[in-house]
Amino acid sequence: MKWNRREFIVTSTFGVVGSALHRAPLLAQPPATPEFTAVRGNVGIFTARGGTMGWLINPDAVVVVDSQFADTARMFLDGLGERTSRGIDVLINTHHHGDHTAGNQTLRPSVEKIVAHANVPGLQRRQAEARDTEAAQAYADETFDENWSLDAGGERVSARHYGPAHTGGDGVIFFEDANVVHMGDLMFNHRHPFVDRPGGASIRNWITTLEQVVADHDSDTTYVFGHAGPGWPITGPRSVLLGMRDYFAALLEYVEQGIAAGRSAEEIAQVGQLPGFAEYSGQPARTIGTAYEEVTAG
């Protein structure tokens, strides 16, 4: 298997004003370098710009996970055409963020059906309205509340929602025969993650979700991550999920200790790196600020 190392760059403004922490994420990313990489069996990943895409290609079905941006979705279609003459039977969106759904409309003419968790279309519409990108959207045709599945040729594909975590509409996609799980943005490998509280996120339940996903799969499962820090792989074993669980536990503990010591939100967020996680890329202030909001909200 080939390890593909990509950096996901998100620029954001999180002004800390008193106890209120405001966020306005802006997607800004480097030029795309498209790459198809086999993971196991007929399942693989596509990396270019934005969240990692997943794919299943066999003689009887094509299933795609996420769509990145309009330009990289076109690159994906060009590469897909070199690998199969089939159209896309199902496109599954792991959540609503633009770096995972902005390519939906580009893929749409080749897609029979778009599937996502029930909360995704509403969150996607709200995001599009805020960014004035309504005309560029394509939304799910079919949604699920907790579980969804499909027989895709010789592969069983399923999706499960474990509750709020990265957003309020995350789906974990399981290619059962290949034993590959696409985590979407439930996994940022060694990169400080974006926690979308306005989109329904919960750090506490994110911890529970990572533990439940590990419990639901075996030790041989390969996981696909939405994003990774520079120099870190975009796929890996369960230990990486448990490492992110430990990151979140340490994050909440750090914030709770700061509050107990009487420190302000600004003081708690003003740290060069989260203690114990110096190898994580990006600045931790945004994630710490979001954790502060969650802890103080009760």
CB neighbour class for 55 (10 Å; exposed up to 12, middle 13-18, buried from 19)? buried
Give dist(CA 184, CA 208) in Å, integer.
16
The pTM assigned to this predicted structure is 0.90
Give, for all 298 residues of the chain, the pLDDT tens digit.
Answer: 332 323 222 222 233 322 233 333 333 345 568 999 999 999 999 999 999 999 999 999 999 999 999 999 999 999 999 999 999 999 999 999 999 999 999 999 999 999 999 999 999 999 999 999 999 999 999 999 999 999 999 899 999 999 999 999 999 999 999 999 999 999 999 999 999 999 999 999 999 999 999 999 999 999 999 999 999 999 999 999 999 999 999 999 999 999 999 999 999 999 989 999 999 999 899 999 999 999 999 7
pLDDT for position 33:
86
* Residues 83-126 pLDDT 10s: 999 999 999 999 999 999 999 999 999 999 999 999 999 999 99
Provide φ and ψ at 116, rounded to 5°: -160, 170
The full set of domains in the chain, from first to last, is 10-238 (3.60.15.10)
Residue 41 is classified by DSSP as T
pLDDT for position 283:
86
> Could you tell me which residues come within 8 angstroms of residue 246 by beta carbon, excluding any fewer than 6 positions away?
none
CA 168, 51, 174, 291 torsion-angle sign = negative
Helix/strand number for the chain, H first, E second? 8, 19
CA angle 141, 146, 127 (to 5 degrees): 50
